[in-house]
Structure 1
Amino acid sequence: MTKTLIFLPFLLLFIVGCASTIDTANMTSEQRFKYAMDFYNDEEYDKAIQEFDAVMLQFPGNEIIDDAQFYLAKSRLARTEYILAASEFSRLIRNMPASSFVPEAQYNLAECYYKLSPPYPLDQRYTKKGIEEYQAYIDFFPTDPKVPEAEAKIKELNDKLAHKAYNAAVIYEKMDYDKAAVAYYDNVEAIYHDTQYAPMASFKKINVLIGLKKNEAALKEIESFLIKYPQDENYLKVEELKTKLEKSAPETAKK
């Protein structure tokens, strides 16, 4: 009798455990998807991923598939698995182009690369990919409500690329590779003309050209600076440089 009483709690636990086990094999597609969504809403993303995968394997061609694919990608994103999430969002966009989830998937695809974008001194492949995907979102869904956010993110990522290019020019200048520095400052102005680094690059280029005694080229860059950047903090300094160059070489100023 004593042995039976000792064994009884374990038997009850076993029975309760078996009773609480959910048989997913016989669920309909809607039931299986809801089962997965319950994990997603409870932020149990690892289990949600398993269940969304199971939905797609068990019900290929079902109308619920794009829902499962989208929330599988969202689960990866929530787990900060950005490369895997990007792959899943891309799969939805590529394989289910008629899905109502495509606009949000495209935005979230760009978000994955935004999250992967490293500090400016490092390799910027993900930064460039983020810009590309945000631009695709804007081009294909120009009336979508998140377009202003995408535009702001593009500007932020472009600033990072400009910072990297500007920093490279500064390094060349410090190493006395002045011709290379001028070329890099030119690139910053040409490619990233709508960033804060464009006037900075122009100002630095003017000073490098003066150091190289290329006064005519410096004056040309000064004229360009004064036209393009009238509100820049270095505007008065550039005007002073112009005055000095014109006084020291009046014949150059006439050209």
Structure 2
Amino acid sequence: MKLYFLPLLFTVLFFASCSEYQNVLKGDDTTAKFEMADSLYQIGKTGKYKKSLRLMEQIVPLYRGKPQAEKLMYMYANTFYVLEDYFVAGYQFERFETSYPQSDSVERAAYKSAKSYYELSPRYSLDQKDTRKALEKLQAYVNKYPNSNFREESNALVKELREKLEKKDIETADQYLLIGKQIGSFKPAIDAYENFISDHPGSIYREQAFLGRFEAAYNRAINSIPSVVEERLITAKGYYTQYLKYYKEGEMKAEADAILAEVDKLLSTYDTTTTSEN
């Protein structure tokens, strides 16, 4: 008989709980709102976080300057984080860090603020404005808290974001080279590869950038007006020399050597012309 009444009991308790929540939500008792928000937050379930957030949104402005404000503001920021509203979470954690620099939770807040921006970083093929901001925030965190428990994870996130930017930038340069082959303009590709080499000295795509710059310079030379072809071929050969300096045993050396052979072949015609004139 007892088992028969269990579903009914749970139903009654559920509606009683909902009724209590609605009464507190609609009421004017800020202490009750705080206590219920805290209780729901501690349960740690998505639905409870959402209910807790509704209560916190009502009382956050009222608790400024009060002893409970520090705890409330951390819960408030973290609720946005848990609910994956990372834009607001990043901002709220930043506010917490500024408002409570002596808090025991300030380091964790700083990390979660930086991590929020990381979560906003899109896939590499899209605009990387948020990725650069996330990288800036994470690097600032690592610099500020060098002995943090989150240091290892932060460094891993920094590495991931850098690789994302590298992939974006190398594909942009490759795209310039492809467009150049279609329209006969290779200076943008050369500039893009040079920027990549300068901006990403430790990149796994660095050899690709050196080779791409050499190939772009070669194509620029052979698509130039006759009076500047020789000069640009010599410039291109200089890029090969720079490639060889770093990648004498490189994976792409055969491809670089093939382009060099074409450069030398064309330059030899200028040497022949000069000799016959003499």
Supply the distance in 2 between the matched residues of 1:185 and 1:92 (Cα, whole angstroms). Answer: 42
- The alpha carbon displacement at 1:184 in A equals 0.7
5 Å matches for 1:1-255? 17=16, 21=20, 25=29, 27=31, 31=35, 34-39=38-43, 41-43=44-46, 44-54=48-58, 56-176=60-180, 177-213=185-221, 214-230=232-248, 232-239=250-257, 241-242=259-260, 245=263, 249=267
Contact 1:85–1:109 (Cα < 8 Å) also in 2: yes
SS in 2 for 1:175: helix
- The alpha carbon displacement at 1:30 in A equals 8.2
Normalized against structure 1, the TM-score is what? 0.78
Partner letter of residue 42 of structure 1?
Answer: K
Partner letter of residue 45 of structure 2?
Answer: D
Tell which deviates more after alignment, 52-61 or 86-95.
Answer: 52-61
Contact 2:36–2:52 (Cα < 8 Å) also in 1: no
Supply the distance in 2 between the matched residues of 1:158 and 1:219 (Cα, whole angstroms). Answer: 30
Supply the distance in 2 between the matched residues of 1:122 and 1:18 (Cα, whole angstroms). Answer: 46
Q: Which has the higher helix share?
A: 2
Contact 1:169–1:184 (Cα < 8 Å) also in 2: yes
CA, structure 1 residues 17+153, in 2 after alignment: closer, same or farther (shift >3 Å)? closer
Contact 1:35–1:51 (Cα < 8 Å) also in 2: no
- The alpha carbon displacement at 1:245 in A equals 4.7
Equivalent residue, structure 2, for 1:6? none
Tell which deviates more after alignment, 76-85 or 17-26.
Answer: 17-26
Supply the distance in 1 between the matched residues of 2:264 and 2:18 (Cα, whole angstroms). Answer: 92
Q: Which 5+ residue runs of structure 1 have no aligned equivalent? A: 1-8
- The alpha carbon displacement at 1:32 in A equals 5.4
Identity of aligned residues (%): 22
Regions of 4+ moved over 6 Å: none
Supply the distance in 1 between the matched residues of 2:131 and 2:87 (Cα, whole angstroms). Answer: 13
Supply the distance in 2 between the matched residues of 1:27 and 1:179 (Cα, whole angstroms). Answer: 67
Contact 1:55–1:68 (Cα < 8 Å) also in 2: no
Tell which deviates more after alignment, 23-32 or 69-78.
Answer: 23-32
- The alpha carbon displacement at 1:53 in A equals 3.8
Supply the distance in 2 between the matched residues of 1:51 and 1:18 (Cα, whole angstroms). Answer: 15
Supply the distance in 2 between the matched residues of 1:149 and 1:17 (Cα, whole angstroms). Answer: 44
CA, structure 1 residues 26+168, in 2 after alignment: closer, same or farther (shift >3 Å)? closer
Supply the distance in 2 between the matched residues of 1:204 and 1:28 (Cα, whole angstroms). Answer: 66
Supply the distance in 1 between the matched residues of 2:68 and 2:263 (Cα, whole angstroms). Answer: 72
CA, structure 1 residues 97+18, in 2 after alignment: closer, same or farther (shift >3 Å)? closer
SS in 2 for 1:21: helix
Supply the distance in 2 between the matched residues of 1:19 and 1:80 (Cα, whole angstroms). Answer: 25
Equivalent residue, structure 1, for 2:228? none
Q: How many residues align?
A: 239
Supply the distance in 1 between the matched residues of 2:207 and 2:82 (Cα, whole angstroms). Answer: 39
CA, structure 1 residues 219+98, in 2 after alignment: closer, same or farther (shift >3 Å)? same
Tell which deviates more after alignment, 80-89 or 165-174.
Answer: 165-174
Supply the distance in 2 between the matched residues of 1:71 and 1:158 (Cα, whole angstroms). Answer: 31
- The alpha carbon displacement at 1:37 in A equals 3.0
Q: Which 5+ residue runs of structure 2 have no aligned equivalent? A: 1-7, 222-231, 272-278
CA, structure 1 residues 231+58, in 2 after alignment: closer, same or farther (shift >3 Å)? farther
